[in-house]
Amino acid sequence: MKNKGKLLAVPGLLWLGIFFVIPLLFVVILAFSQRGVYGEIIYTFTLENFSRFFEPLYIQIFFESLIVAVATTLICLLLGYPLAYMITRVNPKWQNAWLLIVMLPFWINFLVRSYAWVIILRSQGLVNTFLQSIGLIDQPLTLLYTPGAVLLGMVYALLPFIILPIYVSLEQLDRKKLEAAYDLGASPLKAFWHVTLPLSMPGVISGSILVFVSSLGMFVVPDIMGGAKSALFGNIIQNQFLSARDWPFGSALSMVVVLFSIILIFLYYRATQSQEKLEGRG
Amino acid sequence: MRLAKAFVPIVMSTILVLTGCAGSGSGGEEKKVLNIYSWADNFNPDVIKDFEQKFGAKVNYDTFGSNEEMLAKLQAGGGQYDLIQPSDYMVKAMINLNLLEELDKSKIPNVENLQDNFKNPPYDPESKHSIVYMSGVTGIAYNKKYIKEAPDSWEDLWNPEYKGRVVLMDDNREVIGMSLKKNGFSNSSVEETELNKAFVDLKALVPNILAFDTNTIKQKFITEETWIGTVWSGDASFIAAENPDIGYVVPKEGGTIFADTYAIPKAGKNKELAHEFINYMMDPEVSVKNYEYIGYSNPNAKALPLHSEEYRNNTMINLSPEELSRTEWLGDVGENLKVYDRLWTELKSGR
């Protein structure tokens, strides 16, 4: 029986091997290669691409991107957690409808949705036209092509990624534990703090990692909603593959993001394992 | 965690959507097939249909969004294309990378129709590997509603009154080249002092910049989000057709001239048909039908008298010889592209 189960995994493993492991290996090889004069790739081993990353310019952009990613994750968490919590509390027959609404935007191409934001926020956009027509402002507000617009776009794009895992965690939470807390005299707030929140941490952490890692590599939002004015790390990587024709450097920068993500996921596993041990399941 | 597992495919597929996957396919028939790889909307579809009928051929048309995207695909060995349309500086790079076939001019007798000034471009001496398809100049487009006095210098973009209203192309060569021109240098300078001067000036321009944009720059002018900025002449003509307040000038310091070309990749299968296609497109009457549709300047010397009056009088499509005399091609900077990219990154880093 055990072997049969393994056989069923073969298509999935093949998929991962062909579309994930092999491309990743290419990136690794490229990261240690050199750029030719005309942008061709010279397969001579070098560490130069990585030493370039440590130049203050790129380190600074990396840290700025980290800050944007942390901000995006925190805002998503603050917006997403209460929403996920609410969805688990509504009448079960409405739950699916709510989940559908959360996932609905994915049915429309992300690029199209980003341009929709441009139409909403630009100086003759919906928001400015409305505010002007009710006489609240004389001059259109600068809503687009600002750091705030980038943050808005990121949160908008990634919010569902945190709602869904948190919803899953909260949904399977053992209500008996909450009842026990109430029986022992815990206030609703205390019960939430000591029971609900710790038990939903796996969802919070996995959702946060999804959002954080995705926002670290994001380049469409800063381009379209930020007016391409302040480059994030994803934009720098994109530039290396296009205008700079420097695939080796771009690959090295991608590796930095990959390594960073791996470290985060490793920490996540450590955290969840200790969590499970606490609950006596480990 | 059963439910969580059910969500994994959803989450993964959304990641795919986020990263934007694109695929393309092409079908083959018994007929001769010409695979073209070019910019979007670069031909009048009727002209393509005429060609298909006349030569009993089938034309497949794939598009790219930038020269670099096209180069990447060809270098990776993806796609067997018979005819491509790289821009000037990319022609030079592709010749150096040995990707372009030398053209057999005996099969393109219509090449004689080309205007003399396009017969020996600096990026491809004697047009051995490429023929100019269309050309334009990067100049200043501005909205007369907000800018009362017509600009005549790149310097005008720095006017503090245009704070947050200037749009620049999202292209390191165009933008740094513009600032180099403003200072009276070559747009392809690799001199450190000249590049630094251009960079310091660009840094000072940042407060005026609304956005860097190449793909949707036309919409930004039409909706009047931007008042003034760097625009290709052909785009300016398109914008002016939608918004009559738009003016266009080639600044006194001169602008960058660019061209898209016909070229045949070494890996192409049907080089014979590709030559026939180029020759057909360079027929004066065919070219008139084509360029009236795409709205770019026709480099065909014999075609100008055949064009409509409206087309001939459009000063954004047909720049004056005086304006053209002040233009410069972008040269391939080779290794120094790294320097350009670094300055570009620094410009956008807020340092």
Cβ pair A84, A206 in contact under 8 A: no
What does the pLDDT read at residue B9? 47
pLDDT tens-digit profile of A103-156?
998 899 999 999 999 999 998 899 999 999 999 998 888 899 999 999 999 999
Residue A204 has pLDDT above 90, yes or no: yes
User: Mind telling me how many Å the CA of B5 is from chain A's nearest CA?
Assistant: 10
Q: Is B39 on the interface with A (CB under 8 A)?
A: no
Taking only residues 188 to 217 of chain A, the set having a beta carbon closer than 8 angstroms to any beta carbon of chain B reads 203, 210, 214
Confidence of residue A276 (pLDDT cuts 50, 70, 90): low
Q: In the prediction, which pLDDT does A268 show?
A: 78
Cα separation, A188 vs B135, in Å, equals 71
Residue in A with minimal Cα distance to B346:
A57
**Cα B344-B347-B350 angle, rounded to 5 deg:** 145
Residue B23 above 60 pLDDT? no
What is the rounded CA–CA span in Å between residue B46 and residue B44?
5
Pairing, β B131-143 against β B246-249: antiparallel
| Residue with more model confidence, B238 or A274 | B238
Burial class for A177, CB neighbours closer than 10 Å (0-12, 13-18, 19+):
middle
Please answer whether residues A246 and A240 qualify as being in contact, where contact means their C-beta atoms are separated by less than 8 angstroms: yes
Spatial distance between the Cα atoms of A181 and A178, rounded to a whole number of angstroms: 5
Counting other chains too, the contacts that B39-43 makes at CB distance below 8 Å and 24 or more residues apart are B39/B63, B39/B64, B39/B65, B39/B85, B39/B260, B40/B65, B41/B294, B42/B85, B42/B133, B42/B260, B42/B294, B43/B281, B43/B290, B43/B293, B43/B294
Cβ-Cβ contacts under 8 Å for B189 (sequence gap 6 or more): B180, B195, B198
Mean pLDDT of B153-172: 96
For A38-54, the pLDDT digits (tens) are 888 999 999 999 999 99
Q: What is the pLDDT of residue B66?
A: 84
Verify whether the Cβ–Cβ distance A38 to B96 is below 8 Å: yes
pLDDT at B81 over 90: yes
Which of A16, A19, A33, A38 to probe the B interface (max B CBs under 10 A)? A38
Nearest to B345 among A103, A165, A236 (CB): A236
The CATH number given to A29-278 is 1.10.3720.10
> Taken in order A23, A29, A34, A40, is the CA torsion positive or negative?
negative
- What is the reported pLDDT for A282? 37
Q: What DSSP element (H or E) covers B18?
A: helix B2-19
Contact B217/A at CB under 8 A: no
Taking each helix axis from N to C end, the angle separating A147-171 and A92-103, rounded to the nearest 10 degrees, works out to 150
Nearest CA in chain B to A110: B18
CA separation for the pair B113, B172 (Å, rounded): 34
Phi and psi at residue A71, to the nearest 5° = -60, -45
Q: Work out the end-to-end distance of chain B between its first and last CA atoms, rounded to an integer number of angstroms.
A: 46
Q: What does the pLDDT read at residue B73?
A: 87
| Average pLDDT estimate for B4-10 | 46
pLDDT at A270: 85
Of B17, B212, B340, the CB nearest to A229: B212
Q: Indicate the fold that domain B136-257+328-347 takes in CATH.
A: D-Maltodextrin-Binding Protein; domain 2 (3.40.190)
Of residues A38, A171, A242, nearest to B334 (C-beta): A38
DSSP B48-59: HHHHHHHHTEEE
Q: Measure B101 CA to nearest chain A CA, in Å.
A: 18
Higher pLDDT pick, B77 / A72: A72
Nearest CA in chain A to B15: A214
Helix (H, G, I), strand (E, B) or coil at B249: strand
| Model pLDDT, residue B8 | 45
Is the CB of A245 less than 8 angstroms away from the CB of B68?
yes
Task: Please tell me the distance from the alpha carbon of residue B131 to that of residue B133, in angstroms, as a whole number.
Answer: 6
Architecture of domain B30-135+258-319: 3-Layer(aba) Sandwich (3.40)
Q: What is the pLDDT of residue A264?
A: 85
To the nearest whole Å, the CA of A233 is away from the closest chain B CA by: 10
Q: Check residue B29 and give its pLDDT.
A: 46
Q: Judge: B171–A243 Cβ closer than 8 Å, yes or no.
A: yes
Report d(CA A149, CA A143) in Å as an integer.
7
B176: Cβ contacts below 8 Å, ≥ 6 apart: B195, B198, B199, B202, B340, B343, B344
Bridge partners for B168 per DSSP: B212
Per-residue pLDDT, A3: 64
Task: Enter the tokens of residue B154.
Answer: 């790149």
pLDDT of residue B5: 44
**A227 φ/ψ sector (left φ>0, alpha ψ -120 to 50, else beta):** left
Complex ipTM, two decimals? 0.88
> Residue A178: is it exposed, middle or buried by C-beta count within 10 angstroms (0-12/13-18/19+)?
middle
| Greater pLDDT, B5 or B134 | B134
Contacts of B177 in chain A (CB under 8 A): none
Per-domain residue ranges for chain B? 30-135+258-319, 136-257+328-347
What is the residue type of A167?
Y
User: Considering only CB atoms, which chain A residues are within 8 Å of B3?
Assistant: 168, 171-172
The most distant pair of C-alpha atoms in chain A lies apart, rounded to whole Å, by 74
The residue behind tokens 């360079």 is: B282
> Which three-class secondary structure string do you get for A29-52?
HHHCCEECCCCCEECCCCCHHHHH
**Which residues are registered as beta bridge partners of B39?**
B64
Three-state SS for A135?
coil
Q: What is the pLDDT of residues B291-300, one digit of tens each?
A: 999 888 899 9
Q: Do A164 and B173 touch (CB under 8 A)?
A: no
Q: Residue for token digits 């704070």?
A: B163
**A contacts of B346 (beta carbons < 8 Å):** 57
Q: Do the beta carbons of residue A204 and residue A272 sit within 8 Å? A: no
Average pLDDT over chain A, rounded to an integer: 91
The stretch B146-165 carries a mean pLDDT of 96
Decide: helix, strand or coil at residue A87. helix
Residues 6+ apart with CB under 8 A from B14: A106, A160, A161
Give how far A17 is from chain B: nearest CA, Å: 16
Strands (E), chain A: 34-35, 41-42
Sign of CA dihedral A98, A101, A102, A106: positive
**Alpha-carbon distance B6 to B12, whole Å?**
11
* Structure token pair of residue A128: 């400015």
Tell me if B344 and A243 make a contact (CB, 8 A cut-off). Answer: yes
Contact A210, A159 (CB under 8 A): no
